[in-house]
Amino acid sequence: MKRIEKLEMQGITKSFVGVKANQDVNLTIEKGDILGLLGENGAGKTTLMNVLYGLYHPDKGKVLVNGEQLHLRNPKDSMKVGIGMIHQHFMLVQKHTVLENIALGYDEAPFFFPQRYMRNRIEEYSRKFGLEVDPDKKIWELSAGEQQRVEILKALLRNADLLIMDEPTSVLTPQEAEDLFDILRKMINDGHSVILISHKLEEIMSICNRVMVMRKGKVTGSAIIKDVTKVDLARMMIGRELSNSLEKSEIEPGDPILEISDLSVDSDQGLPIVRNLSYTICGSEIFGIAGVSGNGQREMVESITGLRKSVTGSVRLQGDDITNKSARFIHNNGINHVPEERIKFGTVANLQLFENSVLKKHHTTPFSKRMLMNYPVIREHANSLVEKYNVDAASINTPVKNLSGGNMQKLILGREISAEPSLLIAAHPTYGLDVGAAEYIRKELINCRDRGGAVLLVSEDLEELFQVCDRIAVMFEGHIMGIVEPGNCDIEDVGMMMAGSAVEKKQGENL
Amino acid sequence: MSVVVIPREKATPLFNFFILLGSLFAGLVAVGIVFLLKGINPFFAIFEIFRASFGSFFGFKETLTKAVPLILIGSGLALAYRAKFWNIGAESQLLVGAIFGTWIGLAWGPSLPGFIILPLMFIGGFIGGGLWGMVPAIFKVKFGINEVISTLMLNYIAAEFVKFLVVGPWKGKTKYGYPYTDDLPDQAILKYLGNSRVSLVLIILAVCVALLLAFLVFRTRFGYEIRVIGENPEAARYSGIDFFRTTLIMMFISGGVAGLAGVGELSSIHHHLSYPETISAGYGFTAIIVAWLGRLHPGFAILSGLFFAGIIVGGDAIQMSMGLPATTVNVFNGLILVFLIMGDFFLNHKVFYQRRKG
Amino acid sequence: MDLDIITSILTRTVVAGTPLLLGTLGEVVSERSGILNLGVEGMMSFGAATGFIVTFTTGNPWLGMLAAIVAGALISVIHAFVTVSLRANQVVSGLALTMLGIGLSGLWGKPYIGRPLIVKMNAIAIPYLSDIPILGKVLFYQDAYFYLSVVLGIFVWFLLKHTKIGITVRSVGENPKAAETMGINVSMVKYLCVMVGGAFAGMAGAHLSTAYSKSWIEGMTSGRGWIVIALTIFALWEPSKAFIGAYVFGGIFVLQYVLQPLGISPNLLAMLPYLTTLGVLLFYGLSKGGQRKMSAPATLGEPYIRGSR
């Protein structure tokens, strides 16, 4: 097996329906490199790596290993050449042992008692790189760090020379992350190379020797780590073009509507993911939560809307304690929510548009009277939503699954806003939408605020947050790194906070 | 060249109907092939089936008679399946309804006039079937027990219980050792229409129930919540719907209408409780396809119930004339159901050939 | 109690348990790959009819067994096609196959009602071992189906636990995405597992019609197929526990007849197998509800869409 001395991706271009995921991307990595691939979600990093791993075929461009062009039709081709990938979400069978997971589909393992054979090979690599893991344990018994080691072993045993790691520390504790970096260093010394996808500046600065920054499908910069500062990288990651095309009038914020106090929430795995959060949102104010997805935003929103229990802390709505109350109670009391995964949670795909237009409020008048649904009123409501929010649909009888993403989102947003809530929570409302639809939604959020409502906007799109919000809090690993006003703060500071670096509080923003 | 499958964006009602007809046709062709293999002229056999059930006056009356329980149960199953609760226990829900009906009829029948005792029996049957239907609902929501298995097991348990009753404590004193209960008193029997076995009361009941359930599913808040639970349980949770309460009520109704069918059979056809196979006659299973053919619309159960009743009657007819066993009906049902499912696939996906991109 | 009576009860238990064991082994394989097969009752029926007819016609019960195995596998292809390739609802497809299997078996079998086999699958005594008191008669003087079922049971257990194929099958049922990324053809694995399930069901049916009894009647399977499905859960999808479940339930079937002389209504006794099934499921649900769920193959009943991520 020849080692990979040099791998090049040249001119890689890949589009999905309407979205240019990768535009003319060039990447070079040499033996012994740990190359960081930095960028926000949606920058195109994972797409690029999926091309390298044979999961996607590029529209244009080529991949060369040691000067020879490759045709990577599927992961097996990539594995043959020595490319291995560790996905962000592990591809492991929870109920099986480590041995069984590594043996899955492993050609060289014998038919009978494959576990015995695997044990020896695993021991080899374990010792070599410090990948300590008990081969007989079941995956669900392992910590995230140990599970990751299993994935690394899987790749190494299939002759991975270049290892692609997609956001590897997103599930690790700081200690486990350190252990991982030790392992990576050992591998590098042995002649392997690593591409590390991450949005965390600290991490990239500490373990990588080179870095490439991507934004919206293009490469915005590449450098050798010792020659750059965090600020440089933040700037490359965020970019400078922030237009302010939306008209927004100055309004005095009203009374406090939502008070979050010392809120802590656990993730599905039982680990703390929101840590002692505190902030207040007032009426006539759009409060933004910036930060890369996965830093606790989803869980925070779920605990406010009654879909998840919080561990400590309290949530007060206009003075009343609504901590851990049921979802129905909370939205009966004036909090409406445009969910992150709109198709999954916000709509019933097979039901018709007008039926979806009253989801959540279907049990209230005027939409239903005692036991009966008042369909004439519901249809009227649906029609007015469609008109007001510009939902492009064949009719209000169309099943919602036939609507485009943008129109589905407009419908959901319209449904939630029209209920005139005290607090509107919008999670990534414009994700995946075209420019026109996105603009429309942002305008509606501003309208809601102008009418006196409080808005909590969770978004990864800094541009959007800067356009729309009155104040922005940056979340990283469950904490609020700082709260800023769009009018008077530095973009780079926000970028740094998003990537985990605490910033000197210049504006003296408090809760 | 390769086969490409992509989700279909929309299907007009006309296309939907077309696919339905296509599936039925394909199913009949398959049945025809089975007949052919058995040395029977398929065209003749299939023609005879429909002639016997819809072509003759007598046949049509029989078809109507058999359609009643199918429509009742079919509409109840359509309700349950809308919530994706796979109720396979209609056979036993029917039987428990019949048990309650028998008890009321025998205990109070002699002393009460017909216009009181009959409604009482039906109410009792509804409650009986409903309670029996709630059991698997509780099992599923509280204990996570798969409803297919629990309803099937309950089928067997109820059937054995009926057998126990008719040869044991409820054995008829006037029946000389037959495994029947006593006959219901005269006022507890539903009269026939003319010289058929059709009961006008029952037909009206069946159609009304089907329409009522259709109304329930499409016009009430409860029906809305059922549909949301079935189509997207996550969205149901997000919108604050109470799973437990809604499922329980739904199964009470689904079991209850099967119970109604049980009382109907008891009161108009058999006049006494006897072996379970005689009383329920596989209606609980056939009704599954009735519901599916009706695209889970309780109102359409009327038409599809009639259709399948025709197949049963026709099946009986060719059984006698061609010596085919009664379970031939199952071949029909099975094949039609398989083709219906396959048809659903074409309804939801577009399939075509495409040149493989280099 | 008389030794003979004990021997007789145990023997009958083993005989009653054999088709249950065969059926359960097959269903375990199918469900481990993620496909729920509710058509077992129909496939058993179809196997019973086929086995009977071929044995009757050829005078060779071994051919009958073989034919039943093939018949079961073939009819299960319909279920595999509908659930794997067309990704349709597995519950409804299984039910359709049950109806089809029962109907076809009745149709084919009609002319043979009331005509018993001359040659049936007789008990074979294993030399020396069958002379052991009690156990010898019970375990070593049985028909070929029993011996085969035990061998197959051990074989399936071994295959699933200690070979590469076993890891593949189990992974396909637990996490097909992971299997796909390791280059495994998930569809093909599921097809094969469903067919194995059908083959076992067919064989179980043939036992009923050519070994257990020598005649064919409609409704021979009388719900054993459904019990098999419950047994699969009872066995927590493990072949080793399938042995226990099958013979325990075989015993319950026999128990009905044993308890009859006590004056308990035979009908109430007949409820025993089904009540026990519910009882066991309730017990699981109450005590270790979560753990039982953990035992079921994670994607059981869910259609797998290739390339989804």
Q: What is the DSSP string of C253-289?
A: HHHHHHHGGGT--HHHHHTHHHHHHHHHHHHHHHHHH
Measured between alpha carbons, how far is residue B29 from residues A456, B43, B48, B328 in Å?
60, 10, 15, 15
pLDDT of C288 strictly over 60: no
Higher model confidence: residue C246 or residue A451?
A: C246
Give me the residue from A331, A345, A349 closest to B240, CB to CB.
A331
Minimal CA–CA distance to C201: which of C304, C303, C101? Answer: C101
- Yes or no: say if B138 and B147 are a contact pair by the CB < 8 Å rule: no
Token code pair at residue A280:
């207040």
Give the DSSP letter of residue B183.
P
Interface partners of B (3+ CB pairs, < 8 Å)? A, C
pLDDT of residue C294: 55
Per-residue confidence band for B131, with pLDDT thresholds at 50, 70 and 90: very high
Give the type of residue at B232: N
Q: How far is residue B318's CA from residue B31's CA, in Å, rounded to a whole number?
A: 14
Q: Please indicate, yes or no, if residue C303 is contained in any of the structural domains.
A: no
C175 touching A (Cβ < 8 Å): yes
Measured between beta carbons, which residues in chain C are less than 8 angstroms from residue B330?
A: 99-100, 102-103, 106
pLDDT at A415: 86
Q: What is the mean pLDDT of chain B?
A: 86
The pLDDT of residue A509 is 43
CB contact under 8 A, A398 and B222: no
Q: Do A355 and B231 touch (CB under 8 A)?
A: no
Calculate what percentage of chain B has a pLDDT beyond 70. Answer: 92
CA–chain centroid gap for A49, Å, is: 17
- Mean predicted confidence (pLDDT) in B129-155: 90
**Contact check, Cβ <8 Å, C168/A111:** no
Give SS3 for A148: helix
Structural domains of chain A sorted by starting position, each given as residue range(s) with its CATH number in brackets: 6-238 (3.40.50.300), 251-334+424-505 (3.40.50.300), 338-420 (no CATH)
**Cβ contact A382:A353 at 8 Å:** yes
CB interface of C with A, residues 244-303, below 8 Å: 294, 298
* pLDDT bracket for residue C308 (50, 70, 90): very low
**Domain-embedded: residue C108:** yes
CA distance A56 to A73: 8
Distances in whole angstroms, Cα of residue A487 to Cα of each of A232, A244, A490, C30: 22, 11, 9, 62
Closest chain B residue to the Cα of A308, Cα to Cα: B238
Question: Contact at 8 Å (CB) between A430 and A262?
Answer: no
- The verdict on a CB contact (< 8 Å) between A95 and C298 is yes
Residues of A in contact with B231 (CB under 8 A): 348-351
Interface test with C, best of B19, B81, B320, B337 (most C CBs within 10 A): B337
Question: Which residues on chain A are in Cβ contact (under 8 Å) with C177?
Answer: 91
Nearest to C179 among A95, A105, A113 (CB): A105
- Under DSSP, is residue A173 helix (H, G, I), strand (E, B) or coil? coil
Which pLDDT score, from 0 to 100, does residue A239 have?
67
pLDDT digits (tens, 9 = 90+) for B82-93: 999 999 999 999
Handedness of CA A183, A185, A191, A192 (dihedral sign): positive
Please give, rounded to a whole number of angstroms, the shortest distance from the CA of B225 to a CA of chain A: 9
Q: Where are the alpha helices (DSSP H) in A344-427?
A: 353-356, 375-388, 405-418
The pLDDT assigned to B305 comes to 94
Chain A / chain B CB contacts < 8 angstroms:
63
Is B84 in the A-facing interface, judged by CB distances under 8 Å? no
| Complete domains list, chain B, with CATH | 68-323 (1.10.3470)
Q: What's the CA gap between C138 and C15, in Å, rounded?
A: 9
pLDDT tens profile C199-227: 999 999 999 999 888 888 888 888 889 88
Dihedral (Cα; B157, B159, B160, B165), 10-degree rounding: 120
Whose tokens are 């509800």? That residue is C289
User: A94 contacts in C (CB within 8 Å)?
Assistant: 174-175, 298
Coil, strand or helix at A199: coil
Mean pLDDT of C188-205: 96
C174 touches chain A (CB under 8 A): yes
Nearest to B231 among A328, A351, A375 (CB): A351
Give the predicted TM-score (pTM) of the model. Answer: 0.83
Task: Answer whether residue C300 is part of any domain.
Answer: no
Q: What angle do CA C180, C185, C188 make, to 5 degrees?
A: 140
Confidence of residue C51 (pLDDT cuts 50, 70, 90): very high
Mean pLDDT of chain C: 87
For residue C105, give the chain B residue with the closest CA: B327
> What would you report as the CA-atom Rg of chain C, rounded to the nearest whole angstrom?
19
Distance from CA of C293 to the nearest CA of A (A): 12
With a cut of 50, list the residues of chain A below it in pLDDT: 241-243, 505-511
**CA atoms within 13 Å, Cβ hemisphere of B297:** 10
Residue B302 CA to residue B206 CA, distance in Å, equals: 8
Nearby residues of A469 by Cβ (< 8 Å), 6 or more positions away = A286, A287, A288, A457, A486
The per-residue pLDDT for B337 is 92
Task: Let me know how long chain C is.
Answer: 309
- What 8-state DSSP symbol labels residue C238? -
More confident site: B256 or A466: B256
Whether residue C80 is contained in a domain is answered as yes
The distance of Cα B154 from the centroid of its chain, to the nearest Å, equals 16
- The answer to whether A254 and A284 are in contact (CB under 8 A) is yes
pLDDT of residue A457: 94
Question: C307 lies in a domain?
Answer: no
Q: State how far the alpha carbon of A5 is from the alpha carbons of A8, A71, C167, in Å.
A: 10, 18, 35
Residue-wise pLDDT tens digits, B15-74: 888 888 899 889 988 988 888 887 778 888 888 888 888 888 888 888 998 999 999 999
* Cα–Cα distance measured from residue B100 to residue B113, given in angstroms and rounded to the nearest whole number: 18
Q: Output the CA angle B268-B273-B274, nearest 5 degrees.
A: 120
Kindly indicate the confidence band of residue B209, based on its pLDDT and cuts at 50, 70 and 90: very high
Neighbours of B269 (CB within 10 A): 20
CATH number, residue C288: 1.10.3470
Q: How confident is the model at residue B188 (pLDDT cuts 50, 70, 90)?
A: low
The residues with which A213 forms a beta bridge, in sequence order, are A38, A221
% residues pLDDT > 70 (chain C): 95
Cα–Cα distance between B140 and B85 in angstroms, integer?
Answer: 9
Compute the distance between CA of residue A482 and CA of residue A501 in angstroms, rounded to an integer.
10
Answer yes or no: is C305 within a domain.
no
Q: Which domain holds residue C205?
A: 3-295
Question: Mutate which of B95, B330, B348 to test chain C, going by most C C-beta atoms within 10 A?
Answer: B330
- At residue B238 the predicted structure's pLDDT band, cuts being 50, 70 and 90, is confident
* DSSP for residue C23: H
- In this structure, how many other beta carbons lie within 10 angstroms of the beta carbon of residue A377? 15
User: For position C94, what pLDDT does the model report?
Assistant: 94
From the number of C-beta atoms within 10 Å of its C-beta (0-12, 13-18, 19+), residue A419 rates as middle
Tokens representing A117?
Answer: 């054979």
Cβ-based contacts of A348 with chain B (< 8 Å): 227-228, 231-232, 235
- Residues in chain C within 8 Å Cβ distance of A115: 162
Q: For an interface test with C, give the residue of A76, A95, A101, A141 to mutate (most C CBs within 10 A).
A: A95
CA distance C264 to C275: 16
Cα(B99)–Cα(B111) distance, integer angstroms: 19
- Per the domain annotation, does C66 fall within a domain? yes
| Percentage, residues of chain B above pLDDT 90 | 39
pLDDT given for residue A508 in this prediction: 42
Does any domain span residue C209?
yes
Task: Give the residue ranges of DSSP H helices in chain B.
Answer: 13-37, 42-50, 57-82, 90-108, 114-143, 147-167, 200-219, 221-231, 233-238, 243-264, 276-280, 283-293, 301-322, 328-348
- Max avg pLDDT among B134-148, C65-79, C177-191: C65-79
Question: What pLDDT does residue C22 have?
Answer: 96
Strands (DSSP E) along A39-147, which ranges?
60-65, 68-70, 83-86
Q: What is the mean pLDDT of residues B313-330?
A: 81
Q: Could you write out the DSSP letters of every residue in C121-159?
A: --EEEPTTGGGSTTHHHHHHEEEHHHHHHHHHHHHHHHH
- In B, which residues are within 8 Å of A375 by CB distance? 219
* Cα distance between residue C56 and residue C65, in whole Å: 12
Q: Could you give the CA distance from residue A268 to residue C30 in angstroms, rounded to a whole number?
A: 30
- Binary contact (B239, A362; C-beta < 8 A): yes
pLDDT at A507: 42
Which two structure tokens, joined as six digits, stand for A112?
């009978």
Instruction: Give me B170's structure tokens.
Output: 């409820």
Please tell me the distance from the alpha carbon of residue B251 to that of residue B243, in angstroms, as a whole number.
12
- What are the tokens at A14? 């890949």
Q: Is C161 on the interface with A (CB under 8 A)?
A: no
Alpha-carbon distance values, A510 to A252, A280, A480 (Å):
17, 10, 11
| CB < 8 Å to C100, chain B | 330-331, 333-335, 338
Q: Does C178 touch chain A (CB under 8 A)?
A: yes
Indicate the pLDDT class of residue B117, thresholds 50, 70 and 90: confident
Q: Check: CB of residue A61 under 8 Å from CB of residue A220.
A: no
Q: What is the nearest CA distance from B341 to chain C, expressed in angstroms?
A: 7
What CA–CA distances, in Å, run from B140 to A478, B146, B159, B322, C95? 37, 6, 22, 45, 20
Q: Please tell me the total count of domains within chain C.
A: 1
pLDDT band of residue B94 (cuts 50, 70, 90) is very high
Chain A residues within 8 A (CB-CB) of chain B? 307, 326-328, 331, 339, 344-351, 355, 359-360, 362-363, 368, 371-373, 375, 398-399, 402
